[in-house]
Amino acid sequence: MFGIALALLSALAFGLSQILVRKNLDKSNFVYISLTVTIIGNIILWPLALYFTNLSTINPEGLLLFIVAGLLAPGIARLFYFKGMETAGISANASIFATYPLYTSIVAILLLGEALTAENWIGLVCVVAGVIFVGRNINNGSTQTKYTSKKGFIVPMLGSFAIAFSQIVRKESLNIYNQPLLGVAVGYTTALIVYLLVMAFSKDSRTTRFSRQDLQMFWKPGVGIAAGWLLCFLALSQEMVSIVVPILQTELLFILFFAYIFLRKLEKFSFKLVASAFLIVAGVILISIN
């Protein structure tokens, strides 16, 4: 149950952070947003990792898997998530990303030998269905990007695959070397290297520059996202990946809640959203049954 509670707290941190990102999404680009939140995360996570980790017990194999997991997510997945907001629209992007627990659970069963009960499977389906319905209703029409196209859906779809496989690799790395603080810090550094390379070869960097304004706009979501990743690692160190990952998708439920409080003029709410929220809660309860 402790792992489930950590996963819910992670989802809350991620949800609030996405609201903060959305408020300034049009004032920057997906590379600079990703770079900012990753810089903030490295500043927060590395002191904690160095203080609480016994570096004399470093496991090279586990460390390598942390790097691979970080390359997939937050590395590639974070870029695709913020880019997906631009190409597919916020609600469509969130809906597509919400499907990744299905891929994760299937791979976890095949590769990690994890087993789910009938209740767990029903709960997983409820959570995925619920977050998809919520995602389709968030920002319905009012803040949908003008440039949405079918090709734009490819970006979040690739991102959802990256997250799915990263969770599998991350769980395996924790099984080998159970140091979640070091793992999330290594993942963040890997992601930072990815973003610096992307920025170096990006066409946008030739016309615009990463500035103090980006740091001012996105340092707060950077703190929240770092906390979310840390809680995610701690949850995975306590619970099966096929249980943790679907619970993390309740992030959209928290997005809906915070959007109602902070973005009420921009967000539209309906009976479908309320029904979807109850569906998600029911799914989490079923997933929590061992």
Number of Cβ within a 10 Å radius of residue 211: 11
For residues 11 and 276, the model is more confident at: 11
Q: Find the mean pLDDT for residues 80-100.
A: 78
Quick check: 152 pLDDT over 70? Answer: no
Domain hosting 127: range is 2-287
Quick check: 288 pLDDT over 70? Answer: no
Residue 17: pLDDT band by 50, 70, 90 thresholds?
very high
For 18, the 3-state DSSP assignment is helix
188-236 per-position pLDDT tens digit: 999 999 999 998 887 766 667 888 999 999 999 999 999 999 999 999 8
Q: What is the dihedral of CA 157, 90, 99, 228, to 10 degrees?
A: 110
DSSP state of 74: I
Residue 245: pLDDT band by 50, 70, 90 thresholds?
confident
Quick check: 243 pLDDT over 90? Answer: no
Which residues, at least 6 apart from 278, have a Cβ–Cβ distance to it below 8 Å?
Answer: none
Total number of domains in the chain: 1
